[in-house]
């Protein structure tokens, strides 16, 4: 079966994306009785599948050698960034499905777990350390999470380590998609939106010049607010440094303090409960081990790597 797909230029990353879209279709089907968006989610998910088809088509018709024409260069850019483009499109569709698939939220549960663990609400306790310069720094670190995986992925790409790059992207997708699915079953908004804690958070997170604009950007590109449990900021950053440890230990050492800052930022900036972070880290331990084993056992050598450079 794998060889059949390889002949059709369908990579395991494409297959993973297709499976995830069909899972979202199932979630949409169960939300139909409450969903006010009609056929719009179907259109968006259909568009997501067309992104996969375009990647398969471009790979099938890709010429050997360095791209020369404008369209060849544009095709190469799309193929290089297609996994990120796909993830962005499907993530932006969640607000049309998730609240209607599961109308309950679990903020009360998560807040109570934090309180039982620490005897205080961490986002309230940490207010004693709020400073404008620190707020700017931690918002910047929080935002730095988004391009963080690119550092090791670009390194692997430039070194032409096709299977290492393919394996790393596969693991990152499994980590992200597993968290995305959890959002639908345990929708949680985080302490910045949970009213009982909001009333206790008396200090505004005012920075000098960065915090406000970054907060506005996040607000625009995060239409779905039920994305706190588990913390992908913790899960993806931990996955990234584990990949760095495997392939570039110098990069791993450089990024350790940055990742630590990201983890501090998710609580300081009131995006996550501590339990979100703990479960995010636990999920990585499971997903990293299992998806890495699956790739090494069933995928490597059977499927052509998506990022194979001719």
| Contact (Cβ atoms closer than 8 angstroms) between residue 266 and residue 272 | yes
pLDDT in tens, 264-299: 999 999 999 999 999 999 999 999 999 999 999 999
Tokens representing 296 are: 């090494």
pLDDT in tens, 62-120: 776 677 788 888 998 999 899 999 999 999 999 999 999 999 999 999 999 999 999 99
Measured CA to CA, the distance from residue 289 to residue 61 in angstroms comes to 35
Tokens representing 47 are: 């568009």
Question: Rounded to the nearest 5°, which phi and psi values hold at 23?
Answer: -65, -40
Supply the angle between the helices 70-92 and 12-31 in degrees, to the nearest 10.
40
CA distances from 90 to 76, 87, 293 (A): 22, 5, 26
Measured CA to CA, the distance from residue 151 to residue 261 in angstroms comes to 17
Tokens representing 85 are: 């483009």
Which residues lie across from 303 on neighbouring strands? 300
Domain ranges of the chain: 1-102, 104-310
Three-class secondary structure of residue 50 per DSSP? helix
**Mean pLDDT value of segment 224-228:** 94
pLDDT in tens, 113-161: 999 999 999 999 999 999 999 999 999 999 999 999 999 999 999 999 9
Which residues lie across from 137 on neighbouring strands? none
Please check the confidence at residue 5 and state whether its pLDDT lies above 80: no
CA distances from 55 to 42, 83, 139, 198 (A): 20, 9, 34, 44
Measured CA to CA, the distance from residue 194 to residue 245 in angstroms comes to 37
Q: What is the pTM of this model?
A: 0.93
The dihedral over CA atoms of 58, 63, 66, 68, expressed in degrees to the nearest 10, equals -80
Question: Rounded to the nearest 5°, which phi and psi values hold at 308?
Answer: -60, 130
């Amino acid at each position: 079966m794998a060889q059949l797909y390889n002949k059709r230029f369908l990579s395991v990353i494409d297959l993973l994306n297709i499976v995830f879209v069909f899972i979202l279709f199932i979630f949409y089907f169960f939300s139909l009785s409450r969903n006010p968006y009609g056929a719009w989610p179907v259109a968006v998910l259909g568009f997501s599948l067309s992104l996969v088809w375009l990647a398969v088509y471009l790979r099938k018709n890709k010429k050997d050698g360095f791209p020369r024409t404008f369209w060849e260069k544009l095709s190469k850019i799309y193929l290089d960034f297609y996994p990120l483009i796909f993830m962005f499109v499907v993530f932006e569709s969640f607000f049309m499905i998730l609240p209607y698939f599961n109308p309950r939220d679990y903020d009360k549960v998560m807040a109570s777990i934090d309180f039982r663990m620490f005897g205080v609400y961490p986002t309230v306790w940490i207010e004693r350390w709020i400073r404008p310069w620190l707020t700017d720094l931690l918002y910047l670190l929080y935002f730095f999470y988004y391009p963080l995986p690119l550092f090791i992925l670009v390194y692997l790409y430039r070194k032409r380590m096709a299977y290492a790059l393919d394996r790393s992207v596969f693991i990152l997708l499994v980590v992200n998609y597993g968290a995305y699915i959890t959002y639908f079953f345990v929708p949680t908004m985080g302490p910045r939106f949970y009213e009982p804690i909001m009333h206790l958070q008396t200090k505004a997170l005012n920075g000098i010049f960065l915090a406000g604009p970054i907060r506005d950007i996040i607000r625009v590109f995060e239409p779905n607010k039920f994305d706190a449990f588990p913390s992908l900021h913790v899960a993806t950053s931990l996955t990234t440094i584990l990949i760095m440890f495997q392939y570039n230990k110098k990069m791993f050492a450089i990024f350790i303090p940055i990742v630590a800052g990201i983890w501090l930022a998710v609580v300081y900036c009131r995006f996550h409960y501590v339990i979100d972070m703990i479960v995010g880290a636990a999920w990585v331990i499971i997903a990293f081990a299992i998806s890495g084993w699956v790739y090494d056992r069933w995928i490597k050598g059977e499927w052509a790597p998506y990022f194979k450079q001719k």
